[in-house]
């Protein structure tokens, strides 16, 4: 048994975006912590994502924004198109003058590399292959028990263990639990040299195409690569074996069946995909509380946001910084800190969750007539209101001082 006896030692369950960022901010705050991650280091794991300006501002506070921008692709605008390629609207996005940071598209593995290298430089302990089994709270502290029979104790425990959080079942033993949304997210990476059709404007945009048969998005990603993503409607979630399947043939056939007639370069992107990714997209209703006793949930464990919002990782980063600041200032009064954390974060997060659900509905399969009406409305509203509707999301900044 490992035992941390310091009065202010934080146990972090989950070495994803929220867990790694929290550990880095705790280090800045002078608070000791250990991270426990269920899997081995996931160097090449996962698909890609866009870190929005609000998330990039959190990374800037860690001194990591420039490193991330150098590994990924800076995005300047959102471009919305119909399936025949007609531009419905172009909306400025990464306005650094306005938000302080641009948006950056990057693979999950590169984001993890940047965060993990900083964790190693800071000398923070990460234990891999440590899957939380249960939690025990005693008057003086909290103990995490892992599936391999080991355990560790600390002052408080933070559940940063994602949408299928085990920590959540300690905080809320009777649920709610996540449910499948009827969407399988698919996507992949493509070498830029395979897609000469991509213009420099395409490469500095997040490109969203809306057709009757579905939605297709693409952008530049890590140096030399583009990435794409799409939604497939499905009655049942995919099995674990099907999700692990990295062969492209079946997915390519299915995707070309839907998107063959979409504008250039959609079919080319599908044809040249490396590392295809499939993910069951799940959702969880608003939780009645994010904490119990010495245990608090952050990131997707507290509020899984639809990938359609493009905000899940950015919100996880915000949570990490906000919590570390409260812990720094609130010292050992964890009860007060947990109450302040939930009060300070819930309203913002739930507004963004609701917006993500609404955007998911815009991407559903429609009749050709419904799709025409949807695209017309989109073009009118986007041209009228532009970025204004989402400005409050990107503008959010936490003052560390």
Ligand X SMILES: Cc1cc2nc3c(=O)[nH]c(=O)nc-3n(C[C@H](O)[C@H](O)[C@H](O)COP(=O)(O)OP(=O)(O)OC[C@H]3O[C@@H](n4cnc5c(N)ncnc54)[C@H](O)[C@@H]3O)c2cc1C
Residue (162 or 276) nearer to ligand X, CB = 162
Separation of alpha carbons 111 and 105, rounded Å: 10
CA proximity to 359, closest of 222, 208, 220, 242: 208
Helix (H, G, I), strand (E, B) or coil at 317: helix
With 0-12 / 13-18 / 19 or more C-beta atoms within 10 angstroms meaning exposed / middle / buried, residue 169 is: middle
Using CB under 6 A as the binding rule, whether residue 227 contacts ligand X is answered as no
Name 128's Cβ contacts closer than 8 Å, sequence gap at least 6: 15, 37, 39, 40, 41
Among 9, 19, 227, 349, binds ligand X (CB under 6 A): 19
**Which of the residues 183 through 212 are near ligand X (CB under 6 A)?**
185
**Residue 103 touching ligand X (CB under 6 A):** no
Nearer to ligand X, 65 or 305 (CB): 305
Stretch near ligand X under the rule CB under 6 A, chosen from 189-197, 254-262, 295-303, 341-349: 295-303
- Please check whether residue 119 is in contact with residue 26, taking contact to mean a CB–CB distance below 8 angstroms: no
CA distance 57 to 51: 10
The torsion of the CA quartet 251, 254, 255, 260, rounded to 10 degrees, works out to: 140
* Nearest CB to ligand X, comparing residues 18 and 114: 18
Among 33, 198, 313, 366, binds ligand X (CB under 6 A): 313
What track of x and - describes contact with ligand X for positions 131 through 150 (by CB under 6 A)?
A: xx------------------
CB of 331 to ligand X, least distance (A): 25
| Residue 19 vs 141, nearer CB to ligand X | 19
DSSP 342-365: HHHHHHHHHHHHHHHHHHHHHTS-
Which residue, 342 or 379, has its beta carbon nearer to ligand X?
342
Report if residue 299 touches ligand X, rule: CB under 6 A: yes
Q: Applying CB under 6 A, which of residues 13, 220, 324, 337 lies at the interface with ligand X? A: 13
Give the integer Cα–Cα distance in Å for 164 and 143: 20
In the complex, the smallest distance separating the C-beta of residue 369 from ligand X, rounded to whole angstroms, is 30
d(CA 59, CA 318): 9
Q: Can you tell me the distance from the alpha carbon of 315 to that of 305, in angstroms, rounded to the nearest whole number?
A: 9
Longest alpha-carbon distance in the chain: 65
Shortest Cβ 368–ligand X spacing (Å) = 27
Task: Tell me if 162 contacts ligand X by CB under 6 A.
Answer: yes
* Cα distances (angstroms) measured from residue 111 to each of 23, 48, 102, 211: 15, 9, 16, 31
Count interface residues toward ligand X (CB under 6 A): 33
Contact call for residue 283 and ligand X (CB under 6 A): no
Nearer residue to ligand X within complex by CB, 53 or 211? 53
Of 47, 72, 214, 217, the residue at the interface with ligand X (CB under 6 A) is 47
Binding site for ligand X (CB under 6 A): 13-19, 36-39, 47, 49-50, 131-132, 160-162, 166, 185, 279, 299-301, 305, 307, 310-314, 316
């Amino acid at each position: 048994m490992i035992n941390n006896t310091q009065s202010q030692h934080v146990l972090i369950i989950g070495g994803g975006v929220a867990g790694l960022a929290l550990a880095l901010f705790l280090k800045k705050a002078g608070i000791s912590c250990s991270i426990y991650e269920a899997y081995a280091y996931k160097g090449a794991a996962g698909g890609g994502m866009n870190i929005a300006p609000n998330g990039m501002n959190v990374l800037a506070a860690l001194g990591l924004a420039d490193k991330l921008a150098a590994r990924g692709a800076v995005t300047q605008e959102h471009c919305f198109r119909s399936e025949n390629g007609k531009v419905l609207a172009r909306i400025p996005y990464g306005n650094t003058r306005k938000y302080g940071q641009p948006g950056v598209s990057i693979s999950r593995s590169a984001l993890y590399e940047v965060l993990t290298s900083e964790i190693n430089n800071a000398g923070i302990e990460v234990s891999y292959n440590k899957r939380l089994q249960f939690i025990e709270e005693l008057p003086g502290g909290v103990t995490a028990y892992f599936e391999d029979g080991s355990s560790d104790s600390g002052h408080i425990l933070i559940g940063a263990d994602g949408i299928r959080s085990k920590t959540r079942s300690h905080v809320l033993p009777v649920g709610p639990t996540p449910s499948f949304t009827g969407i399988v997210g698919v996507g992949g990476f493509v070498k830029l040299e395979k897609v000469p059709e991509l213009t420099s404007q395409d490469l500095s945009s997040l490109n969203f195409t809306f057709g009757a048969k579905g939605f297709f998005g693409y952008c530049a990603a890590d140096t030399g690569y583009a990435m794409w993503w799409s939604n497939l409607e499905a009655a049942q979630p995919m099995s674990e074996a099907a999700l692990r399947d990295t062969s492209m043939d079946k997915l390519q056939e299915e995707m070309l069946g839907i998107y063959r007639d979409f504008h250039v370069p959609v079919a080319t992107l599908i044809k040249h995909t490396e590392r295809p990714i499939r993910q069951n997209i799940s959702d969880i209703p608003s939780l009645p509380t994010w904490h119990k006793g010495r245990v608090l949930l952050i990131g997707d464990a507290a509020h899984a946001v639809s990938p359609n919002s493009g905000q899940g990782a950015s919100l996880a980063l915000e949570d990490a910084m906000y919590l570390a600041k409260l812990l720094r200032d609130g010292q050992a009064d964890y009860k007060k800190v947990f109450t302040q954390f939930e009060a300070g974060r819930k309203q913002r997060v739930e507004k963004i969750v609701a917006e993500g659900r609404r955007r998911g509905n815009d991407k559903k399969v429609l009749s050709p007539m419904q799709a025409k009406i949807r695209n017309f409305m989109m073009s009118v509203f986007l041209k009228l209101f532009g970025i204004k509707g989402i400005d409050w999301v990107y503008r959010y900044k936490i003052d560390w001082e």
